[in-house]
Structure 1
Amino acid sequence: MRERFFIDASADVAGAGQAMFAQLRAVQRVVGTGAGHTSAAFHEAYHPYLDQVWAYRVAVREELRDRTFSPASFRWGDWDGKDRCPICRDELTMGA
């Protein structure tokens, strides 16, 4: 899929897609160390990934000349979801 970005997509969409894949790899590395979905380590990688997923979606919508949106469109504070994450709101300790 990543190679398709470099062939078919505009520079903005390809860049957003590449950033999303890079952050997904960071999530995979953290999970590979044994971090569970409730650990601080997982959330430190997951929320930047979620932010990149939304950046990719916005880039695609802009390219398609569709109406773009922002976190405020959903009454959210930011794309990364930390403000909506019950685990992060409880301020996990490292390695939990």
Structure 2
Amino acid sequence: MTDARLYEVRERLFIDAGATVAGAGQAMFEQLRALRSAVAAGAPLSSPTFHDAYHPYIASVWAYRVAVCDELEGQPLVPAVFGWHALDGKERCPLCNRDLAGTG
């Protein structure tokens, strides 16, 4: 994350963005760190451990996008725009859907 200069980008976000966008950006950053920790601990992509970190991260990415769209355009970005029920990706995730169907 340091090599990718994410800490620097986060600091610029705190300076340039409104409070809602900055807060959503910080939440996304924290979820990215949790996902990174799961991967660093060896969680394979198809594991429940990975998905327990991945889906909150994706939800935070979408929450950030929603906040930015609202701040810049004043238009809400809702899951229905994409034909989804939620923004966390679980309804489109083969592993999660297999588990929900009781075949996992």
**TM-score normalized by the length of structure 2:** 0.84
Q: Quick one: distance in 1 between partners of 2:13 and 2:39?
A: 26
Q: Is the partner of 2:73 in helix, strand or coil? A: coil
Residues 1:56 and 2:64 are matched in the alignment = yes
Residues 1:18 and 2:26 are matched in the alignment = yes
Q: Quick one: distance in 1 between partners of 2:57 and 2:10?
A: 16
Q: Which runs of structure 2 are paired with 1:1-96 in the superposition (5 Å)?
A: 1-91=9-99
> What is the identity percentage for the equivalent residue pairs of Structure 1 and Structure 2?
59
Cα shift at 1:66:
4.6
Q: Quick one: distance in 1 between partners of 2:75 and 2:19?
A: 19
Structure 1 segments, 4+ long, off by >6 Å, are none
Unaligned runs of 5+ in 2: 1-8
Q: Conserved in 1, the CA contact under 8 Å of 2:70 and 2:77?
A: no
The count of residues paired between Structure 1 and Structure 2 equals 92
| Aligned-pair Cα RMSD in Å | 1.3
Q: Quick one: distance in 1 between partners of 2:74 and 2:14?
A: 22
